[in-house]
Amino acid sequence: MSTPTPAPVMTDVADLAPLVTVQPESTVSRTVLRAEGARVVLFAFDAGQVLTEHTAAVPVLLHVLDGHLRITADGRTVDLVPGGVVHLGTRLPHAVEAVVASRLALTMLDPR
């Protein structure tokens, strides 16, 4: 006997920005959505905060909700501001620096 395939589901978050707040001299993160093939984690960085070089076990998409972040990976640096998006492949070493207080949506793409 086979297991029934679950019905497709639509999951939504009406407004990401108010779900995470910049804290003085800190980096804050919060998972706000878990759905088939994706997880969305919000980050809030005070100006000058840095996530030193690290990797992710799955491909990710980064987009800034507000502020200005510097993303360093693959031998180059990108200034990411609202409206831009960066894709990072699985296990690509990268770092994130907040030029000003900023909020970031990180979407983890996991087909499992």
* pLDDT tens figures, 51-72: 999 999 999 999 999 999 999 9
Predicted confidence band of residue 1 (pLDDT cuts 50, 70, 90) = low
Q: What is the mean pLDDT of the chain?
A: 95
* pLDDT tens figures, 74-97: 999 999 999 999 999 999 999 999
Please report the domains of the chain, with CATH numbers, ordered by start residue.
26-109 (2.60.120.10)
> Cα separation of 61 and 88, whole Å?
6
Query: Residue 108 pLDDT > 80, yes or no?
Result: yes
- Look at residue 57 in the predicted model and tell me its pLDDT: 95
